[in-house]
């Protein structure tokens, strides 16, 4: 078919976008795995429908305004990529499309202001801590507020943990067998500072020196998914420089969303002077569970009581990085733990970056359904690998089931032989 406007010529990301469009054979295998299609049953709210919409808008056959509500409603969960037998790289299309669309036609005023507010706070731990500590005592106001203002309050814990300034370097007790760098994350440092500390403890236990390059910053995931291109590029450049300045065996992430976004740095930085560096960086990126699961000498103490644990796969680990069995293989090493699976474990929990702040009503419906499946799994604990999922699950499970980041649970049971 002749394109009236060749998609592959739309800027430096055009080739990737065109490849994604052309790979789709419209088979529809992705439809039942898409949370928005399952909720609405509308073709335009399915992956196949969205690919067609983006293609038509890019070619100039459809107005952006007609397509926008359906594209805005996409969670970016990438479940469609896993389901697709043709290997459509949906991520190569949706985020570049949002950046392109944003440049073509600015967002409505209120949405623009909201996104600016998010981008001015969440990526900066100090600012976010100030806002979160200010908001936490007012959680009780949430039911009285409109959805959009209630959502951030609902997601906050009622009291924030004490934060800790991380060192630039942590060394194991014996001479190190290698050296890794750790991305500290933004909101995670404030909402659950124990995650980084647990990861550092586990990495040291397997003999690695852990560096936290002080020049690192926000991974840029939020900006990228909101179509805020210049912010995403700036953040990606900063991290490429920070993590390329020294040589590491691996660059470790503990948040699925951050890891997945960093794997997209070559696309974010396409056409810039950091593209080659971004490709090299991706070759070293690993989620903390992926790295630890490969260390056979990592052992654990038995739990005090036998316990059933269920894993909520974060979409950006399961679909974004194809990391899933590693979490289960680590849990299997803890004597006393039995893994139980919940129904629809591979479906998004509704967190999806800032989706639960941007689309609180739909995210809450998805979150409630997820909480129902997790409660029915017969587990005493839920573990996950992403701070966003952790907060969303805690908000919807309330007191029904505890939720931990998997590294927190692993560190609690770290074998005495590692001490």
Q: CB nearer to ligand SF4: give 75 or 198.
A: 75
Q: CB nearer to ligand SF4: give 34 or 155.
A: 34
Q: CB nearer to ligand SF4: give 86 or 376.
A: 86
Instruction: State in angstroms the smallest separation of the CB of 207 from ligand SF4.
Output: 38
Cβ atoms 314, 353 nearer than 8 A:
no
Instruction: State in angstroms the smallest separation of the CB of 328 from ligand SF4.
Output: 23
State the greatest distance between any 2 C-alpha atoms of the chain, in Å, as a whole number. 66
- Residue appearing with tokens 């007609």: 66
At residue 19, the 3 state secondary structure works out as helix
Instruction: State in angstroms the smallest separation of the CB of 67 from ligand SF4.
Output: 13
Helix, strand, coil fractions of the chain, as percent rounded to 5: 55, 10, 40
At residue 46, the 3 state secondary structure works out as coil
Q: CB nearer to ligand SF4: give 316 or 396.
A: 316
Instruction: State in angstroms the smallest separation of the CB of 135 from ligand SF4.
Output: 28
Question: What beta strand segments (E) does 313-369 contain?
Answer: 337-339
Cβ atoms 263, 224 nearer than 8 A:
no
Instruction: Give which of 388, 115, 99 is closest to 233, Cα–Cα.
Output: 99
Give whole-number Cα distances, 91 to 27, 158, 226, 371, in Å. Answer: 18, 35, 13, 27
Cβ atoms 206, 333 nearer than 8 A:
no
Q: Which residues contribute to the site for ligand SF4 (CB under 6 A)?
A: 24-30, 33-36, 47-48, 50-51, 74-80, 83-84, 86, 88, 90
Q: CB nearer to ligand SF4: give 16 or 309.
A: 16
Q: CB nearer to ligand SF4: give 51 or 122.
A: 51
Instruction: State in angstroms the smallest separation of the CB of 52 from ligand SF4.
Output: 9
**Angle between helices 360-375 and 147-155 in degrees, nearest 10:** 40
Q: CB nearer to ligand SF4: give 33 or 121.
A: 33
Instruction: State in angstroms the smallest separation of the CB of 332 from ligand SF4.
Output: 29
Instruction: State in angstroms the smallest separation of the CB of 388 from ligand SF4.
Output: 15
Cβ atoms 338, 309 nearer than 8 A:
yes
């Amino acid at each position: 078919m002749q394109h009236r406007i060749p998609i592959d010529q739309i800027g430096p990301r055009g080739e990737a976008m065109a490849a994604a469009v052309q790979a789709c054979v419209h088979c529809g295998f992705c439809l039942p795995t898409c949370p928005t299609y399952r909720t609405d049953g509308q073709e335009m709210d399915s992956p196949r429908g969205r690919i067609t919409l983006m293609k038509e808008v890019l070619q100039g056959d459809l107005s952006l305004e007609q397509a926008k509500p359906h594209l805005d409603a996409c969670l970016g969960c990438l479940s469609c990529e896993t389901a697709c037998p043709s290997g459509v790289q949906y991520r190569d299309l949706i985020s570049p499309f949002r950046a392109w669309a944003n440049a073509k036609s600015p967002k409505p005023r209120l949405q623009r202001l909201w996104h600016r507010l998010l981008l001015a706070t969440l990526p900066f731990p100090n600012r976010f801590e100030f806002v979160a500590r200010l908001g936490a005592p007012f959680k009780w106001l949430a039911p009285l507020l409109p959805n959009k203002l209630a959502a951030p309050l609902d997601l906050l814990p009622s009291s924030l943990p004490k934060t800790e300034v991380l060192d630039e370097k942590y060394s194991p007790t014996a001479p190190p067998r290698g050296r890794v760098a750790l991305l500290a994350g933004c909101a995670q440092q404030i909402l659950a500072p124990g995650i980084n500390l647990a990861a550092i403890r586990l990495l040291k236990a397997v003999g690695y020196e852990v560096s936290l390059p002080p020049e690192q910053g926000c991974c840029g995931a939020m900006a990228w998914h909101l179509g805020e291109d210049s912010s995403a590029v700036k953040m990606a450049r900063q991290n490429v420089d920070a993590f390329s300045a020294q040589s590491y065996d691996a660059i470790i992430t503990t948040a699925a969303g951050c890891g997945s976004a960093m794997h997209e740095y070559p696309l974010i930085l396409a056409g810039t002077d950091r593209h080659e560096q971004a490709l090299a960086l991706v070759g070293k990126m690993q989620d903390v569970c992926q790295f630890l699961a490969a260390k056979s000498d990592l052992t654990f103490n038995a739990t005090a009581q036998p316990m059933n644990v269920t894993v909520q796969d974060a979409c950006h680990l399961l679909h974004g990085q194809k990391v899933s069995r590693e979490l289960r293989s680590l849990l299997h090493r803890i004597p006393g733990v039995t893994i139980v699976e919940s129904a629809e474990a591979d479906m998004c929990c509704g967190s999806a970056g800032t989706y639960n702040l941007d689309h609180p009503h739909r995210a809450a419906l998805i979150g409630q359904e997820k909480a129902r499946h997790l409660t029915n799994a017969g587990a005493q604990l839920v573990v996950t690998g992403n701070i966003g999922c952790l907060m969303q699950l805690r908000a919807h499970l309330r007191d029904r089931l505890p939720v931990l980041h998997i590294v927190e649970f692993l560190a609690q049971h770290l074998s005495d032989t590692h001490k």
